[in-house]
Structure 1
Amino acid sequence: MPGHVILSHGSDAGPDATKVSVLAKIAESMGWSSERPDYRADDALGHAGSVAPRIARLHERIAACSAPPVLVGSSMGSFVSGLVSLELPVAGLFLLATPALIPGNDLAFDVRLDVPTLLIHGWQDDVCPLDEIYEFAGRRQLPLLVLEDDHRLGAHIDAIGRQFGLFLEQLAKRA
């Protein structure tokens, strides 16, 4: 049964960013509701300074949900989505270009291991090094799809969309 998806954009983007917009349309075409919080005011505080306000904003959005939502994130959106999964129930995590650390912030990326999770990253990501998330995924035995792309993953929007559709189908079967 479809549920709700919260899509969190990256630091240098907004709620109308390409990836989160495409993924929201896919979710909605499959009967899921979706929302894309606007973190731009939080991002004005800098990378390290935006983590706590983004987490608080995501907490508010999840609290308004009638059931645990699926969290989708890109870059900083992935980072905070994973951390929030440690604190609140979520139905799944679909995370793109995830940083393992945010310089100047004391929190390290993590996720709840009992939450279905898919990590997608680019081989040429020069913003969030692949080695760090590869090691993270290996330690936790989480699925990691690595694409011939950079941090923006712009050359693989269609492939990411197909993976997202499959991810939502699997979650809907579990509900």
Structure 2
Amino acid sequence: MAKLVIYNHGKDSIPWGEKPLALAQAAKQQGFEFISPDYRPGNEPDIRVRQLLAIDVSAYQTVVLAGSSMGGYVATVAAENIQPQGLFLIAPAFYLPGYARTTFNPAAADIEVFHGWQDNVVPPENVWRFCQTHHARLNMRDADHRLLSILPEMQQNFADFLQRY
């Protein structure tokens, strides 16, 4: 049974920084392949969505989309078409100026979100609004936008999230 996680990095991040490396380790332990596309050439969120939608996931029985900040937005918008089993979002960039979408219809039954109370990029109320609308599990922590201070906890939670598949 082929299983895949596609991680979507943030606007000023890299495909294989601390978060994706930690999540990749958890995914591999759960029997998932893990890819992290390089979105650095384009900082326009909807161009990134098109890049994600161009990935052929037809060979996989289980697909999980993960994303941080702009990557969370990208994963959520693409989830409408990809229809992943799970959506794991880290400080997703929702309801911000410059992002085309303000309504979301992610076709994922299982959505989990990590966000920091000290996030000065994406206000916590934006994430609360999304989670309330989509009945997503929200994990609020005393952390900043990058959430690196809680990376070990998030990595374990991601492993637990993937264990359901």
Q: Deviations over 1:7-40 (max 9, x none)?
A: 1111111111111111011111221111010000
Distance 2:81 2:96 in 1: 19
Contact 2:8–2:37, Cα closer than 8 Å, also in 1: yes
Which of 132, 137, 148 is the aligned partner of 1:138? 132
Q: Specify which structure has the higher proportion of helix.
A: 1
Counterpart check, 1:27 vs 2:30: no
Q: 1:109 to 1:119 in 2, by over 3 A?
A: farther
Question: Which of the numbers 141, 147, 157 marks the counterpart of 1:147?
Answer: 141
Q: Which runs of 5+ in 1 are unaligned?
A: 44-49
Q: How high is the TM-score relative to the length of structure 2?
A: 0.92
Q: For residue 93 of structure 2, what is the aligned residue in structure 1?
A: 99
SS of equivalent residue, structure 2 residue 82: coil
Residues 68-106 of structure 1 deviation map (CA, whole Å, 9 limit, x = unaligned):
510010000000100111122212100000121231232
Q: Taking every aligned residue pair, what percent have the same amino acid on both sides?
A: 30
**Structure with greater strand percent:** 2
Q: Distance in 2 between matches of 1:101 and 1:24?
A: 28
Q: TM-score, normalised by structure 1?
A: 0.87
Which residue number in structure 2 is paired with residue 66 of structure 1? 59
Q: CA RMSD in A?
A: 1.6
Counterpart residue type for residue 135 of structure 2: Q
Checking the alignment, whether the CA contact within 8 Å between 2:83 and 2:108 is kept in structure 1 is no
Q: 3-state SS of the aligned residue for 2:42?
A: helix
1:46 counterpart residue number: none
**Structure 1 equivalent of residue 116 of structure 2:** 122
Runs (4 or more) in structure 1 with deviation over 2 Å come to 109-115
Residue 85 of structure 1, aligned match among 63, 79, 91: 79
Report what 1:10 is aligned to.
Answer: 10
